[in-house]
Structure formats: C-alpha cells, structure tokens
Structure 1
Amino acid sequence: MKTSKKKAKNQITATDSEKLKSLFVDGLQDIYWAEKNLSKALTKMTKNTTSDELKEAFETHQKQTEGHIDRLESVFQMVGEKAKTKKCPAMEGLIEEANEIISDTEDGSMVRDCGLIMAAQKVEHYEMASYGTLRNIARTLGYEDAAKQLQLTLDEEGETDHLLTELAETYVNQEAGDE
C-alpha cells in the first residue's frame, strides 16, 4: 500500500471512506444473495438428510437464515442503502457442491449425512468470514449499530458450525464409516 503521509490508526479520509463504504455495500449485497439462496438450498438439504438430529439442525438454521436476511435488510437501512443482492459465486459453488453430494450418495445413508455436514460447514465458514469482515468494516466506518447486528449473525453462524461438528463427532461420521 503506498501512502505519502502516515495516517493515525483507524483514521480515514472522506475519499477513503467512500471507497470503503462501496466495498462494504458490495459485501452486504454479496452475503444478502448468499443468504437468500442458502435458504432455498437448506430446504433441499433438509429433505435429503437421514438423521432426525441433522434434519432438525438444518430446519433450525433455515429459520435463522430467514432472520439473517431480515437483519441484513436492517443493516442496509442503517447505512442508508437499498437492500439488493449481487450474485455470490462462492455461495453458488458451495450450494452446487451440496447438490452434488446429494446426487452422488445413497438416499437414506449416513454417508450422505456426513457429506451434507461437510458441505454445510463449508457454508458456515464462508459466512463467518464474510460477517466478521463486514462487522470490522462497519466499525471502521462508524456504523456501530450495523456492526452489532452483523456480530449477532456471526455468533449464530458459529453456533451452527459448532452444532454440526458435534453431530459429526458424536455419531454421524462413525455410522457413515460402518455403512
């Protein structure tokens, strides 16, 4: 990064602020598309699980995802922007990967559940990276209320990831290995 003057920590100029806000809004649009499309994908993933516990986890996360969409709409409003989506190639690929796991595994198998957990955790990690970065940018731009909303979603994504790990370690992976 080339700069002619050294800036104090967290000090940004008006021009820098406009550029950073543009990047921030772009990131919001990206994750907004991701959440909307994930909500649809979770319906398919739920229908294709074997274990009741994983089905329940996906159903719970789908409800949370609807809340994430609402929260993002609130964040757009807080920063004076219209809520709109921008196609997210990363989430598109992650959803496609989940669909391939469904088509490449046996219906009713724990191997499929294992694969769906793997796919879902990749989604969670992408979302956590997105929300953490957006929260940090919101703070830099002085959007503290938006940062708090993004942190709430980040926390929920982390809880879902933890639950998926627990399901995998408790029994799904072992039962998949026994098939």
Structure 2
Amino acid sequence: MTIQSLNDLFVHTLSDVYSAEVQLTRALPKMAQAATAEKLIEGFTQHLEETKGHIERLDQVIQALDGVELQNVTCVAMEGLIKEGEEIIQEVEQGPVRDAGLIVAAQKVEHYEISSYGSLMALAKNLGYDNVVSVLKNTLDEEKATDEKLTMLAEQQVNQHAA
C-alpha cells in the first residue's frame, strides 16, 4: 500500500505496532526463561500479560474505526530489537550480567513502543479519531510504567549484582 494521506500513515503505523506487539508476545517468554533475577522474571511475565492486553486494545481501536483494516506488515524495527535481545541470551553467560543486558534490550523495546503509541495518539488526534485516543493513551501509560520499573530494577538491584 502506498501511503498518500495522514489516514494511510495512521493505518500503516497501527499495523506496524500490531505486528510489534504480536512479535513481543513470542519474545517475552524467552526473555523470562533466560533471566535469573526473580523480579526480572516476574516483570517479563507481567509484561507478557500487559502485551496481550495491548493487542486487545488495538483490536478495540480497529473495531471503533469502521472501515479500518490492518495491513499485512511486519515490524522490522521490533524484529531487530528482539534479535538484539536474542544476542544477549546467546552471547552472555546466564547470571547478573545477562540480566543487565536483558534490561537494556527490554528498555529499547519499551522506548520504541512509547514512541509508537505517542505517534499513534498524535495521528489519531489530527484525524479526529477522538474515540480511540484514550485507548491508545492507556497503553502508552503502561509502556512508560514498564520502562520506569525496568529502570528501578536495574538501578536498585540488577546492575549492582552485575558489577
């Protein structure tokens, strides 16, 4: 599909984010399995459940916008971010340093998602899709909260053990 309008860009971005969230549901269990810090394992497990909720919210957005159909796109950015996490798992021995690396990889994912949902909200506002802005904002807020939790876990526990 050629992007010719702001609406086309919104649909493309929505499709891309949907792909990213689906990919993340496959990656998070692997990250949880590779981690050793109990709070990190719990965080990945909790974020998996939140991610499933994010997909449900995206489905709500699609339903609320009659006539909007997702494009068949693969989020190559998320593919790359997940690959970086897989490299940490493969190249770093299990333990505190790997846990620190997994947090780095997870925060890169969170920052990508934060920017994606922020952009979707801005596009939705400009397009007058006021009925979906709050749904997107709920997910954006959860992504920001997850990023903050990862920062606290890194600063207060994991990085100290890795040092």
- TM over 0.5, shorter chain: yes
Q: Distance in 2 between matches of 1:77 and 1:29?
A: 14
Q: Distance in 1 between matches of 2:8 and 2:60?
A: 17
Residues 116 and 85 (structure 1 numbering): CA distance in 2 closer, same or farther, change over 3 Å? Answer: farther
Instruction: Extract unaligned runs of 5+ from structure 2.
Output: none
Tell me the TM-score normalised to structure 2 length: 0.95
Q: Which residue is 1:15 aligned to?
A: none
Alignment identity in percent?
50
Q: Give the one of 87, 108, 113 matched to 1:100.
A: 87
Q: Give the one of 53, 60, 64 matched to 1:67.
A: 53
Q: Distance in 2 between matches of 1:52 and 1:84?
A: 38
| Contact kept in structure 2, 1:32 and 1:84, CA below 8 Å | no
Per the TM alignment, residue 167 of structure 1 is displaced from its structure 2 partner at its CA by 0.2
Tell me the TM-score normalised to structure 1 length: 0.86
Q: Secondary structure of 2:69's partner?
A: coil
Instruction: Extract unaligned runs of 5+ from structure 1.
Output: 1-17
Q: Secondary structure of 1:128's partner?
A: helix
Per the TM alignment, residue 83 of structure 1 is displaced from its structure 2 partner at its CA by 4.0
Q: Distance in 1 between matches of 2:36 and 2:48?
A: 17
Q: What is the identity, as a one-letter code, of the residue corresponding to 2:104?
A: M
Q: Does residue 1:55 correspond to 2:41, yes or no?
A: yes
CA RMSD of aligned residues (A): 1.0
Q: Which residue is 2:100 aligned to?
A: 114
Per the TM alignment, residue 85 of structure 1 is displaced from its structure 2 partner at its CA by 4.4
CA-to-aligned-CA distance 1:99-128 (integer Å, 9 cap, x gap): 000001112x10000000000000000000
CA-to-aligned-CA distance 1:14-33 (integer Å, 9 cap, x gap): xxxx7111000000000000
Aligned residues: 159
Query: Which one has a bigger Cα radius of gyration?
Result: 1
| Contact kept in structure 1, 2:11 and 2:70, CA below 8 Å | no
Q: Which residue is 1:11 aligned to?
A: none
Q: Does residue 1:124 correspond to 2:96, yes or no?
A: no
Q: What is the identity, as a one-letter code, of the residue corresponding to 2:46?
A: T
